[in-house]
Structure 1
Amino acid sequence: MICDRQQADMEVDVIISGCGPVGALTSNLLGSMGVRTLVLEQDLAPHGQPRAFSCDDEALRIYQAAGLVDELQRDMRQSQFFEYVGGSGKRFAQVNPGQTDFGYGYTPLWFFHQPLLERSLREGMQRFPHVNLEIGAALESLEQDASGVTVRYRQVQTGEVRTVRGRFLLGCDGARSSVRKALNIKLSGRTYDELWLAVSGVVEGELPDMCRFVCDPKRPAFVATGAAGQFRWEFMLMPGETREYMERPETIRALLTPYIDPDRVNIQRAQVYTFHCLNAAKWRDGNVFLLGDAAHTMPPFMGQGLTSGLRDASNLAWKLHRVLQGLAPDSLLNTYEEERRPHVESLQKLCIRVGHLFLARNSLVATARDALLRAVQRIPRVKRFIQGFEFKQAPRHNEGFYFDGGSKDSEPPQGSFFIQPKVRLQSGEEVLLDEALGNEFAVLCRANAPAAQREAARGLAEALGGRLLAVQADEDDAGKVSSVVDVTGKLDAWFSRYTADVVVLRPDRFVFGAVKAEQLPELRDALGV
């Protein structure tokens, strides 16, 4: 393998293998930071199948950071509710994500059409002249040394073999990752025995508003109205049913009939699949990183597979940028897996628990489940927990690149995903908070803080290459720094809860630390600036 950088055909900062949603999103984030990026995609045409189907509020906030949320939202559908019904068709639980606000700027359940999503992400890459996509590029081998990685790939149309040298290589190439295989990184976990038939199609005429988990022991199913006129049905195969039988048009027609007139459906995809709950043994090998399905897969019952990959990209991209700029040591990159793996593993466990609820195959157990869930929801707090989607895993890191100090709260602010309420700019425009912060580190303080505190916070922001933003309680509270009006009062409540004068936000909008003014020197030391 050629490893002399002088012999490489091209030299970049970051090489990305795979241009699915995770690879394309990562390239957009890196592009917005000025990172020279080459994306290698083996397929000659964008993936045309609607596989991934849903995302959440965290995903939309990440798309916002990439400058693409408005474009992507135009092709999405907000889900107002989803329900669980038993074999009789009677509902035993309902969740109302359309009425739920976890504080991140968006409601927590959105449906999308994957081909449209991928198209918009690829078009977003074109904003950056330093980001290039090479299609039909099949990775053949890689070799790395202390200063970078050399990738050898083949152009599938011409057979030409090329090399590219990069400081880092990111494997965003899915569950069958060529990058992971080249590094001989093992997967561990479980592949489930249950087979499912996934059917996607466009429905003519008016679409019913539906998102339903059918927890029927005789045939568990999932039915949902998607985006762009799409509908999704998933049916569990029963003992003795084969892939060939389930994918027959007459079988599909019979399965759809209880939910919709099959004559109204133009089926685009009907495929039997199984699902996995797997983790790579490590997500970093020297200068190579695994993201998304290349690093981890999970059952589909919480719709967290794609969003988990987007979280990976959001966590890693800014760290790569700071290391490339010489603003942080290489050891910062070790915190990628340190922070992300525990969250992924906890989500995997949650998906398995929800799956057990969904897939009860014993009719007596299912009947008892339905009755129990109806009964416990008579307790107001339990009802709020279920209907308010509170069982969804909160985005939080307990270890990693954070300030170990400040608040003594039982759940301290560092490592939490900061809220994103609306704020009013000095121009009078109201926007979501991140629009006022930019995509670098940000320092927030109260606008009415003493001048010395504001100056210390300003100096910290400048040292980080970021922005200081003062939070005003009202229009008359402005100081001499860039400020916003806390129109909802949520920022003031956050500062008060943690008795903080200053909060430092990482570029991925997780809280590095929140402290009283006298602790600013300690916080600055922890940041290494």
Structure 2
Amino acid sequence: MAAKTRSRTGVGKGGLDHVPIIVVGAGPTGLTLANLLGVYGAKTLVVERNAGTVSEPRAVSIDDESLRTMQAAGLIDIVLPTVVAGYGSEYRTPSGQPFLKVHPTGQPYGYPRRNAFRQPTLEAQLRKGLERFAHVELRFRTTFVDFEQDEDGVVVTLETAAGEKVQVACDYLVGADGSWSAVRTKLGLTLEGETFAEKWLIVDLERSPCASRETQVFCDVRRPCIALPGPELTRRYEFKLLPGETSEQVLDDAVVAKLLKDHGADAGSVIKRKTVYTFHARLAPRWWQGRAFLAGDACHLTPPFAGQGMNSGLRDAHNLAWKLAWVLARRAPPSLLETYEQERRDHVWAMIQLALRMGRIMGPKTYWHGLATQTAFRALSLWPAARDYFAEMKYKPKPRFDAGFILADGQSERKTVVGRLLPQPKARDGKGGEDLLDAWLGDGFALIGVEVEPQVLARIAASPAIARLAPRIVRLGGAVDASGASNVTALALSSGDATALVGQAGRVLLVRPDRYVAGAFLPEETAAFAARLNELLGTVPTVQAAPGASALVRVF
């Protein structure tokens, strides 16, 4: 008979220790998910088979959306100083001449769009962040073995470092345990898609100063290569293996030294890691089954050329975390969790396709393919609109979805803000305070009225369907004076026009905890919007929680 665990959880079904959420895997996705669940107040257990977080460089690029997720997790002030913010890329011909420059200057979501980081540093920061929460526990040297689930919950079998098998009951299980996910395997799922024949040599350097902070992309059919500077004099080189080359050949010290020298590495650089990998473009056919969910590399693998593999996992974490917390708090029905894959799947696939396109630019099939591509980009650079399109990364798939936990407003796809990630400008109040918009919106839902009177906003927020979500109420634009409605925060943008956020003054936005817009309406449409919202929310089950196993420790 399996032994019971001893932990800071409650006692659940069958006398087993109980915790509402178990996360398997303490990589970037699992740790981010756990930090967000900590912010939302959800009791969580994270288990990781390794002895600690990673010590080797892996992912090297973190984007603006992921930094916004770090902000939501309450860690941005710790993370941001350790990244190289706002770097660009230069694509070069075989002769070394630049033919395309990507250097975005806009910060629509509050942060630079491309940033270099060190995964060991980020994971250590995320691990440290969990110490803020008495209701989140992290166990290393603990291996996920198996699980069983029914309509009432999940029983997870774990193995401790001492080889002891233990069981823990939970309401929901999340497998964030990487490409070889044991949780996915137990669900009977595989990753479907392509594994490519090309192999790449990865060389991570330390003490490697470089003249430019920009990524250098050598688009040469003779040896495609990319060089990415990172924080603290780190640098990564990626070299494509040529036909007939083996991993053993390119990992030879002399071969690596020559490749680095030929591509401008500083002679005093120290090699931290060298390895050969094969890239994949794969998706799991389903990301959830019953009460078990997959996130990050457990359900999708992205080629590295767009730097979006880890970032896609962090988007998964932000999307799933608030939904788990709200369902456990009985503010939303379990059907809300079905929208996780519905909202995330298409965007992940779009990122995979972007990476494949960028890979074809980096590694042309023939010299003539490369010449044609490079000539086309040079021609396009003469057209300001096209030059701006590439320089500002407008080709990157927008964070948006057309179905899920949203209420369409009838506007065209081009004009609607519903299902879109809300921009994050700086805003100020009437007392001299200034911060990025999310800092004013709190951790939960927000009701934002653009130039809508505070008293009107307060009445809208009191509508039963909207009140179920307990939103923070914000008036944006106009005078920063909320007199007559003490529960309304009045803000003005530090620069620009508030109506640019929604395209029309007098509109009200219902914004989700992950900062996507769930709905937009005019004050006179409140009754109709509330009825649709009530239908979307549905009836929340009144099932009692297991004794001693409350899901949330605070209310929004």
Do the structures match in fold with TM over 0.5?
yes
Q: Which runs of 5+ in 2 are unaligned?
A: 5-10, 538-556
Tell me whether 19-28 or 448-457 shows the greater mean CA deviation: 448-457
How many residues of Structure 1 are paired with residues of Structure 2 in the alignment? 525
Partner of 2:180: 176
Equivalence for 1:516: 522
Aligned counterparts, 1:131-146, within 5 A? 131-146=136-151
Q: What CA distance in whole angstroms lies between the structure 2 residues aligned with 1:238 and 1:133?
A: 43
For 2:151, give the aligned amino acid.
Answer: A
Match of 1:52 in 2: 59
Distance 1:287 1:205 in 2: 49
Deviations 1:389-415 (A, max 9, x none): 111111001111111335456441110
Q: Retained in 2: the 8 A contact 1:447–1:477?
A: no
* 1:42 counterpart = 2:46: no
Work out the CA distance in 2 between the residues paired with 1:373 and 1:223.
Answer: 21
Question: Which deviates more from structure 2 when the two are superposed, residues 230-239 or residues 342-351?
Answer: 342-351
342-351 or 22-31: bigger deviation: 342-351
Residues 204 and 364 of structure 1: CA distance in aligned 2, closer, same or farther (over 3 Å): closer
Asked if 1:148 corresponds to 2:145, the answer is: no
Q: Secondary structure at the match of 2:132?
A: coil
Instruction: Give the alignment of 1:115-126 within 5 angstroms.
Output: 115-126=120-131
1:440-459 correspondence runs (5 A): 440-449=444-453, 451-459=455-463
Q: Distance in 2 between matches of 1:379 and 1:164?
A: 61
Contact kept? 1:11, 1:166, Cα under 8 Å: yes
- Asked if the contact 2:144/2:157 (under 8 Å) is kept, the reply is yes
Are 2:282 and 1:278 equivalent residues in the alignment? yes
Segments of 5+ residues of structure 1 without an aligned counterpart are none
Deviation per residue, 1:194-251 (Å, 9 max, x gap): 0000010212556642311111000000101111221010000011211111111111
Contact 2:457 2:473 (8 Å CA) reproduced: no
Instruction: Check conservation: 2:110, 2:425, Cα contact below 8 A.
Output: yes
Higher mean Cα deviation, 239-248 or 272-281?
239-248
Q: Tell me whether 1:201 sits opposite 2:205 in the alignment.
A: yes
Secondary structure of the residue aligned to 1:276 is: strand
Shift of 1:493: 2.2
With the length of structure 1 as denominator, give the TM-score of the two structures: 0.95
Match of 2:68 in 1: 61
The 5-angstrom pairing of residues 161-172 of structure 1 reads: 161-172=165-176
Say which of 34, 37, 50 aligns to 1:30.
Answer: 37
Q: How much does 1:160 deviate?
A: 1.1
Supply the AA of the counterpart residue of 1:177: S
Return 400-409 or 285-294, whichever deviates more: 400-409
Q: 2:552 aligns to what?
A: none
Query: Structure 2 residue aligned with 1:298, among 302, 305, 308?
Result: 302
1:132 partner letter: E
Which amino acid counterpart does residue 16 of structure 1 have in structure 2? Answer: V
Q: Which amino acid aligns with 1:455?
A: R
* Identity, % of aligned positions: 36
Partner of 1:74: 81
How is 1:334-483 mapped onto 2 (pairs within 5 angstroms)?
334-408=338-412, 410-449=414-453, 451-459=455-463, 462-475=467-480, 480=485, 481-483=488-490
Hey, what does 2:554 align to over in structure 1? none
For residues 408 and 78 of structure 1, what CA distance do their matches in structure 2 show?
A: 35
2:508 is matched with 502
Q: What does residue 114 of structure 2 align with?
A: 109
Q: 2:394, 2:386 → 1: CA distance?
A: 10
The two structures, once aligned, show a CA RMSD in angstroms of 2.0
CA distance in structure 1 between the partners assigned to 2:452 and 2:156 by the alignment: 54
1:354 CA drift (Å) = 1.6
Distance 1:500 1:474, change over 3 A: closer
The aligned residue for residue 331 of structure 2 is: 327
Deviations 1:42-85 (A, max 9, x none): 00122111110001110000110000011011111013321111
CA distance in 2, matches of 1:260, 1:404: 52
**So what's the TM-score if we normalise by structure 2?**
0.90
1:77, 1:112 within 8 Å by CA — same for their partners in 2? yes
